[in-house]
Amino acid sequence: MGCPHLCSFCNQNIISGSSLAPTIPQVKTILDESLNTLGERARNAQIAFFGGSFTAIPRDYMIELLSAAQPYIGDDGFGGIRISTRPDCIDEEILTLLKNSNVTAIEIGIQSMDDDVLLLNDRGHTGSDVVNAAHLISSFGLELGAQMMIGLYADNEHTIRHTASEIVRLGFDTVRIYPVAVLKGTKLAMLYNNGQFIPPTIEAAVDICADLIVYFTNKNIDIIRVGLHASDVVEKDFIAGIYHPAFRELCESKIYYRIIDSEINSKAGNYTVQANSREISKVIGQNKSNVRNFSAQGINLKIKSNDSLGKYQVVILKEV
Ligand code: SF4
Over residues 4-27, the pLDDT tens digits come to 788 999 876 555 444 568 899 999
What is d(CA 123, CA 129) in angstroms, rounded to the nearest whole number? Answer: 11
Residue-level pLDDT at 18 = 47
Pair 167, 280 in one domain = no
Same domain? For 83 and 33 the reply is: yes
Mark whether 225 and 139 lie in a shared domain. yes
pLDDT tens per residue across all 320 residues of the chain: 767 788 999 876 555 444 568 899 999 999 999 999 999 999 999 999 987 789 999 999 999 999 999 999 999 999 999 999 999 999 999 999 999 999 999 999 999 999 999 999 999 999 999 999 999 999 999 999 999 999 999 999 999 999 999 999 999 999 999 999 999 999 999 999 999 999 999 999 999 999 999 999 999 999 999 999 877 768 888 999 999 989 999 999 999 999 999 999 999 999 999 999 999 999 999 999 999 999 999 999 999 999 999 999 999 999 98
Is the distance from the beta carbon of residue 86 to the nearest atom of ligand 1 less than 6 Å?
yes
Residue 53 near ligand 1, beta carbon < 6 Å: yes
pLDDT value of residue 12: 65
3-state secondary structure of 234: helix
How many angstroms separate the CA atoms of 146 and 111, rounded?
Answer: 8
User: Is the C-beta atom of 12 inside 6 A of ligand 1?
Assistant: yes
Q: How far is the CA of 52 from the centre of ligand 1 (A)?
A: 6
H-only helix segments in 170-264: 187-193, 202-218, 232-237, 247-264
> What is the distance between the alpha carbons of residues 198 and 202, in angstroms, rounded to a whole number?
12
Pocket test for ligand 1, best of 1, 12, 54 (most atoms within 8 A of CB): 12
Give the Å distance between the CA of 3 and the centre of ligand 1: 6
Q: Is the CB of 109 under 6 A from ligand 1?
A: yes
Q: Are residues 206 and 278 in the same domain?
A: no
Under a CB-based contact definition with an 8 Å cutoff, are residues 48 and 82 in contact?
A: yes
**Nearest Cα to 12, choosing from 237, 267, 318?**
237
Domain extent at residue 309: 263-318
In whole angstroms, give the CA distance from residue 264 to residue 272. 11
pLDDT of residue 62: 95
Give CA–CA dist 92/268, Å, rounded. 61
CA-based radius of gyration for the chain: 22
pLDDT score recorded for residue 51: 75
254 lines ligand 1 (CB under 6 A): no
Secondary structure in 3-state letters for 3-24: CCCCCCCCCHHHHCCCCCCCCH
Q: How far is the CA of 90 from the centre of ligand 1 (A)?
A: 15
* Residues 157 and 294 placed together within one structural domain of the fold: no
Mutate to test the pocket of ligand 1, among 1, 5, 237 (most ligand atoms within 8 A of CB): 5
For atom 3 of ligand 1, the residue with the nearest CA is: 52
Same domain, 68 and 211: yes
Does residue 49 fall inside a structural domain?
A: yes
Last residue of a domain, one of 218, 245, 272: 245
Closest atom of ligand 1 to 122 CA is 6
Q: Whose CA is nearest to atom 1 of ligand 1?
A: 3
Q: CA-to-CA distance for 115 and 137, rounded, in angstroms? A: 21
Q: What is the CATH number of the domain that holds 22?
A: 3.20.20.70
For the Cβ of 118 lying below 6 angstroms from any atom of ligand 1, the answer is no
Distance of alpha carbon 286 from alpha carbon 175, whole angstroms = 24
Q: Measure CA of the first residue to CA of the last residue in the chain; give whole Å.
A: 63
The pTM score is 0.93
